[in-house]
Amino acid sequence: MPARTILRFDDADPMQPNNWSQKRKIFAVFVAIMTVMNSTMASSLPSGATGPISQRYNQHNEYLLVLPTSIYLVGYCCGPAIWGPLSEQYGRKWPMIISFAMFTIFSIACAAAPSFAALVVFRWLVGVGGSCALSVVGGICADVYHDPQARGRAMAYFMAATTFGPILGPPISGFISPVHWSWAFWIGAIVAGATCPLLVVFPETYAPVILKHQAQKLRKLTGDASIVAPIELEKTNIRHIVTKVLTRPFTMIVFEPIVLFTCLYTSYAYAIFYIFLQSYPLIFTNIYGFNAGLTGLTFLPIGLGAIISAAFYLAWDHILLRAQKAKRPWSRSEEMRRLPLACIAGPFFVLSLFWAGWSARIDVHWIVPTLSGIAFGIGYLCLFMALLNYLVDAYEIFAASAMAAASFSRSAFGAALPFAARPMYERLGVPWACSLLGFLSVGLCAIPFVFLKFGPRIRERSPFCQYLAQKKKEESEARETRGSGEGVEGVEGVELVVHRIDLEQAVRGKERV
């Protein structure tokens, strides 16, 4: 077997994303969050324009009129299975650029759709393009912030973006669609066009791909074909990509209990949010006589609840940091870092559903059911911040695939359940329809408590977590022996470390940073 010169980052290398300046890290996360805001806002834009869309296409079937929203979430189901794993194979930047170009082009197509069927197809394609942001941002946060505390805060901002995006859609479309039905989609296209330049200057954040680029540069400069990056030693044939890389999110859903039950809980919460897009018009239009624009404004308290939940997160972060400095035994637990927020999220979530259901009556002022959104926003965002941060912490370099699995499952729920919203609310009535959702939420509240108790045991048995632990051990041993190894200077701060190893060994054991 031929010898190879394996390229790796030095601990303090400025090209390693974790060692970037704070400004560059913030810019990378900001660009990613802007793509999330675009994507999630677009998801709910048709909800406030149902009437004008119905008139434009002479389409009055209430089930079909749910499609422009639900089919977008079907795109969310399809996209992450592609974008997440590909971002772990080819880096974050180009999947994001290609997907966002697709998102922007078909956002414009929606505004000019010649028929209702064309609108539905274009909305699906917009959803496929927009899904990349949701599945890749967790990986970007893990790339640039290796410290769990800093990474957790970056993920909190990401979660806030996923909450505020859908909240903005209904009031925007509700007020502007009476001018012309297409303006709901033109607004989304304009915001996307303004975001595109940011992606052009977005830096690659995935360390293995950065090393690959440096290895290519070194081979060109030195003429030494033996210089390789670890990722270049991995299998890249189509069969491997299809059978291993693209199927990884589904493998994690089936065989990783943490991923499975996180997907179940967050998917249910996500579906209820999109059920609200159908049920709020039934509540506030039928009971209180609101128009589409005013009904859209009733979603804003959910945003206020999200802000309060962010305060909860920062408060818990401060408590945890003090406990770690005081060397409290419980503060060293991976589960205690994230999951207490998920434990308190459940009761807020349940409360909001019963509150909304039993206060929405003509003899009760409209502000009372509207304010139930605050409790929903607190529970919703605390749940997502806690459980998705826990996923990223547990799976690290596989975070994009874990997030893709979560995105796929919640999008499937979000696409399917809103079709049941109108029949359920019409047959059961507002109080009992909300109560049914609340009772189901009570059962799911147990999931973060189970993770708290059994999480360490589950992670010990996880093949993905075992692989990560082994890689960390190998990297630690490599750092200890690096001083005795043969080395030469690379380019632009990259250290070239020479290891005389077999190619077969390199394939079996990827050297990642």
Domain range list for the chain: 21-202, 246-461
As a whole number of angstroms, the distance between CA 199 and CA 133 comes to: 12
* Cβ burial 338-371 (10 Å sphere, 16+ → b, else e): bbbbbbbbbebbbbbbbbbbbbbeeeeebeebbb
**∠ CA 365-371-376 to the nearest 5 degrees?**
145
Phi and psi at residue 177, in whole multiples of 5°?
-65, -30
Burial status of residue 461 (CB atoms within 10 A of its CB: 0-12, 13-18, 19 or more): exposed
Distance CA 127, CA 41 (A): 11
The CATH number of the structural domain formed by 21-202 is 1.20.1250.20
Q: Output the pLDDT for position 238.
A: 64
Q: What is the pLDDT of residues 154-184, one digit of tens each?
A: 877 777 777 888 888 889 988 998 888 899 8
**Helix (H) or strand (E) run with residue 486 in it:** strand 486-489
CA 438 to chain centre: 25
Please provide the DSSP assignment of 70-110 as one string. HHHHHHHHHTHHHHHHHHHHH-SHHHHHHHHHHHHHHHHHH
User: Under a CB-based contact definition with an 8 Å cutoff, are residues 80 and 403 in contact?
Assistant: yes
From the centroid of its chain, how far is CA 90? 19
Query: If residue 207 lies in a helix (H) or strand (E), which one and from where to where?
Result: helix 207-222
Per-residue model confidence (pLDDT) at position 329? 83
First to last CA, the chain: 25
CB of 284 closer than 8 Å to CB of 294: yes
Q: Which residues of the chain have pLDDT under 70?
A: 1-3, 234-246, 397, 400, 468-469, 471-513
Amino acid identity of residue 483, one-letter, is G
Burial class (CB in 10 A: 0-12, 13-18, 19+), 221: exposed
DSSP annotation of 7: B
Query: What percent of the chain stands above pLDDT 70?
Result: 87
Residue type present at position 289: G
Report angle CA 310, 312, 314 to the nearest 5 degrees. Answer: 70
DSSP sequence for 347-399: HHHHHHHHHHHHH-STTS-THHHHHHHHHHHHHHHHHHHHHHHHHHHHHGGGH
* Backbone angles phi and psi of 486, in degrees to 5: -85, 135
Domains 21-202 and 246-461 share a fold: yes
Mapping DSSP to helix (H, G, I), strand (E, B) and coil, where does residue 495 land? strand
The predicted pLDDT at position 458 comes to 86
pLDDT, tens digit (0-9, with 9 covering 90-100), for 104-151: 999 999 999 999 999 999 999 999 999 888 878 878 888 898 887 787
pTM of the model: 0.76
Cα-Cα-Cα-Cα dihedral sign, residues 223, 226, 230, 236: positive
Helices 399-416, 80-90: axis angle to 10 degrees equals 170
Was domain 246-461 assigned CATH 3.40.50.300? no
